[in-house]
Structures are given as C-alpha cells and as structure tokens.
C-alpha cells in the first residue's frame, strides 16, 4: 500500500510563494507518475500538475502554467510543487497523488491510484 504525506501548506499573501512537498512510501517511487490536484470549497477537484517517473516530463493546467513548477527527487521519494505569484483563486486543499503508470512524452493521461490527505493553502488578498 502506498502512503503519501503532504507538507508545506499555509497562509500566504497574494503575490507570495509556497512550496509543497509530498513524500511517498510503501513501494518503489521511480517509474511512476505523480500529480498534484486541488479542491476549493464548493468546487470539484481539479488537476494542477503532473510529472513523469524520471522527472523529464512535467505537465500543468493552464491556470498555473508559468507560475507553478513540479519537480521530484527520486532518491528522497518526494515530489514538490513550487507555487509562485499566488492569488486568491489558488486557495484550496492541495493533494498529491500517485499512479501505477507513467506519463508518456505526449501527455500524462494516467489513473491515480493513491492519494494523500491534503494540505490547505490559503491566500489573503
């Protein structure tokens, strides 16, 4: 069973930055896609970013592209989400997810099989 634990959420002013991290345990880490999702109150969960197993293919939603950066350290079994230029629309519970598959070079259309408990990001205006 894969366990995912997120860290790094909190309160930040608009325009500020936060870095989220997610550490995985319970199986091999490399070769599997990892993703970040978020859910704001009253809204459905939405995709934020994903990264291929070896970290060479990152993918982003249009709403965060050019502001957020996903990366991973396979030696530490950890995936990161660097969030810059945050605005109130970015406020949500952010969850990381792990897949039993990997992204391809043309996209990251994988099913996510494991989820973390989430970490809350609050952005004050």
pLDDT in tens, the chain (125 residues): 899 999 999 999 999 999 999 999 988 888 899 999 999 999 999 999 999 999 889 999 999 999 999 999 999 999 999 999 999 999 999 999 999 889 887 788 899 999 999 999 999 99
21 CB-side CA count, 13 A? 9
Identify the pLDDT of residue 106.
79
Strand duo 10-13 + 119-124: pairing: parallel
Instruction: Compute the distance between CA of residue 95 and CA of residue 115 in angstroms, rounded to an integer.
Output: 7
What was the pLDDT predicted at 104? 82
Q: State residue 58's pLDDT score.
A: 94
């Amino acid at each position: 069973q894969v366990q995912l634990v997120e860290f790094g959420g909190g309160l930040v002013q608009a325009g500020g930055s936060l870095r989220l991290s997610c550490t995985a345990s319970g199986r091999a880490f490399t070769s599997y896609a990892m993703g970040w999702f978020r859910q704001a109150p009253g809204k459905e969960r939405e995709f934020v970013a994903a990264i291929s197993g070896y970290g060479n293919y990152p993918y982003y939603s249009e709403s965060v592209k050019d502001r957020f950066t996903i990366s991973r350290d396979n030696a530490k079994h950890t995936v990161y989400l660097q969030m810059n230029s945050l605005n109130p629309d970015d406020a949500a519970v952010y969850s990381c997810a792990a897949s039993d598959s990997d992204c391809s070079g043309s996209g990251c259309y994988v099913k996510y099989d494991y989820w973390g408990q989430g970490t809350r990001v609050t952005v004050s205006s």
